[in-house]
Amino acid sequence: MTAIAPRRRTAGGILATVLKQRETGILIALVLIVVAATVRNPGFLFSADGYRDLLLTPSILLLLAVGQAIVIVTRNVDLSVGSVLGLTAYLTGRLFIDAPGIPTIGVFVAGILLGALLGLINGALVAFAKVPSLVITLGTLYIYRGINVSWTGSDRINAGDLPVDFRGLGTGQLLTIPILTIIAVVVLVAAAWYLRNLRSGRELYAIGSDPAAAHLYGLKVTKRVLSAFVVSGALAGLAGVLYAARYGTVSSGAGTGWELQAIGAAVIGGVAISGGVGTLWGAAIGAFLLLTINRALPILGIQDFWQRAVVGALIIGAIVLDRVLAIRQSRRLLEARDAS
């Protein structure tokens, strides 16, 4: 019997596969925007501040987008992450003020734990009460923001209230790469590896694709949904601590509107709002694209209204594309079934 040699993928085949990926299209769009803005103003990229801001500015949003993508993959959404970020950012400042000498690592742990607790509340209400996540997290968005406003009052955290070493995390660099960007990328790699390689991570996609079938198959749907919200809350908590380090000043309005940017970044990056489809890499690129657009369009002379319109068009386009791809995939499956 003649052994059949395994098929080797040619360079052309690999390139074709890469070009078909949604993430590739988003990455190309990001590169084109950077090139256009740099041609118009070389300082956009080829200056110390331009290069640093290009990497640094999206880092905090990247963390929120990763957490949001994990939740959306399960066919849910977390609208409370901006309020969680605000609460943990203010907690960070209060810890440094009220507990002088507290280790920075202790502040990070406290922020992440608070975020995880708030995410656990969201997840429990969604998983056990069987209430749509859109309704639950819209409510907790206002509840958490109300707690933040009540706690903060007219007070605010100033840069002088924070230790110099801690503030250095927000502006420091390691081998010319901002520390915040390194932290965000490490989290991204770890989370992406988890979703791709561990069974519990892959089950999140199965749940998002068809929750009823996942139940029948015996997957731990409640546990997985709960864990997704906890991770989202924990990453929002980490983002809150880094927000304090990055900006120094924290008021009751910190994080307002960031939840919509996180959802937009995930959706633009190819994470289907209907669940079960998308990667964290796409969400990360979406975060970079979203904030790079906000920086690049004024340089290109585009008015504020059209800047917002472009972002809205990208979100709508991503949703429409997801729907078209889903319909095409369904037709292919039906044709394959009929052919067999």
Sorted by where each starts, the structural domains of the chain and their CATH numbers stand as 30-272+279-296+305-322 (1.10.3470)
Spatial separation of the C-alpha atoms in residues 298 and 309, rounded to whole Å: 13
Tens of pLDDT, residue by residue over 120-177, are: 999 999 989 888 999 999 999 999 999 999 998 888 899 888 999 999 998 888 888 9
Tens of pLDDT, residue by residue over 55-103, are: 898 999 999 999 999 999 999 999 999 999 999 999 999 999 999 889 9
Tens of pLDDT, residue by residue over 180-223, are: 999 999 999 999 999 999 998 999 999 998 888 888 888 888 99
Q: Is the CB of residue 144 less than 8 Å from the CB of residue 243?
A: no
pLDDT of residue 4: 47
Tell me the average pLDDT of the chain. 87
Q: Is the CB of residue 222 less than 8 Å from the CB of residue 127?
A: yes
Q: Is the CB of residue 66 less than 8 Å from the CB of residue 188?
A: yes
Q: Is the CB of residue 67 less than 8 Å from the CB of residue 232?
A: yes
User: Which amino acid would we find at residue 175?
Assistant: L
Look at the pTM and tell me if it is higher than 0.75: yes
Spatial separation of the C-alpha atoms in residues 61 and 69, rounded to whole Å: 12
Query: Alpha helices, DSSP H only, in 102-198?
Result: 104-129, 133-152, 164-171, 179-197
**DSSP letter, residue 159:** G
Tens of pLDDT, residue by residue over 108-136, are: 999 999 999 999 999 999 989 888 999 99
Average pLDDT over residues 263-270: 90
3-state DSSP percent of the chain in helix, strand and coil, to 5: 75, 0, 20
Transcribe 269-312 into DSSP letters. TT--TTSS---HHHHHHHHHHHHHHHHHHHHTT--HHHHHHHHH
pLDDT of residue 1: 44
